[in-house]
Structure 1
Amino acid sequence: MTRNEPIFPAGRHALYETHGYSAAIRSGDLVFVSGQVGSRQDGTPEPDFEKQVQTAFDNLVAVLDAAGCGLEDIVDITTFHTDPERQFETVMAVKSRIFPAAPYPNWTAVGVNWLSGFDFEIKVIARRPTA
């Protein structure tokens, strides 16, 4: 039986410790990444929305890297938005920099009314590549 292995990126930020959760859990060859937000190193929200989205992706990449994965290993993406209609254009601009060409990952976007002071969150499931 495979045991779940917690994953933390180097220099993990304060949110993991403050709220008592793992950045990701590796179970077999799957990596379940907790929602990543655009937090600064101390865990506070990045106030500029586009930078907050970019920082959430940067945090995601750091977690994937710690798990031995990359963006190309993503199987499923779910994003959470506090004001999807107003934020859509900005999120799509960042997304096009992160995923510039097909094949694009599947993606589910959900509008929410609270993200603990943040306006964007991204969680993914990735498959760790085999050697």
Structure 2
Amino acid sequence: MNYLIAFAVCLFTFQTKAQTFKNPDSLFNPTPYGFSHASSVKTSGELVYISGQSGGLGKEHLLSPDFREQVQTALKNLTTILNSYNLKPENVMKITILIVDHSSEKLKIWEEEMSKTWQNKPFPASTLIPVPRLALDKMQIEVDAVAFKAN
């Protein structure tokens, strides 16, 4: 019975209207790093789950050896998908970034390029995961996201 009540509450809270991004004052400010601590949606609408986008360019999936170029391409690919739903980066609620052989230099590049894509804040909730490799040789980054489209 408790499961039914919890399920009903989840459905109800999802039916109200608003996107919220939170960065509690008692936690560090994540804005310079291009993310918010949490995001939520309280409205009816459409959640858009975007598969991992690599730094592969075009239908040929050409991978530059340059990390910054792959980051730029991955963000461009993500934006292309958002545009197909008439959405913008600001509609992204959660983003996950996988970086091969992560370093502070690569993190700085990610932050610089993400800030160019997310010119109008708020930043989404974010998780960065260092990995030893990705699906294809020469892939250095993969970015997936969950976006929200209000009705």
Instruction: Give TM-score, length-normalised by structure 2.
Output: 0.63
- RMSD over aligned CA atoms reads 1.5
Offset at 1:98?
A: 1.5
Max Rg structure? 2
- Look up the match of 2:140: 119
- 8 Å Cα contact 1:69-1:129 kept in structure 2: no
SS in 2 for 1:51: helix
The unaligned stretches of length 5 or more in structure 2 are: 1-44
1:30 aligns with one of 37, 47, 63: 47
Distance 1:92 1:128 in 2: 25
* Number of residue equivalences: 103
Distance 1:110 1:63 in 2: 22
The unaligned stretches of length 5 or more in structure 1 are: 1-27
Q: Which has the higher strand share?
A: 2
Instruction: Give TM-score, length-normalised by structure 1.
Output: 0.72
Offset at 1:30?
A: 0.8
Q: Using the aligned pairs only, state the percent identity.
A: 29
SS in 1 for 2:74: helix
Offset at 1:49?
A: 1.2
Residue 55 (1) aligns with residue 76 (2):
no
- Look up the match of 2:99: 81
SS in 1 for 2:57: coil
- 8 Å Cα contact 1:73-1:129 kept in structure 2: no
Residue 45 (1) aligns with residue 66 (2):
no
- Look up the match of 2:118: 99
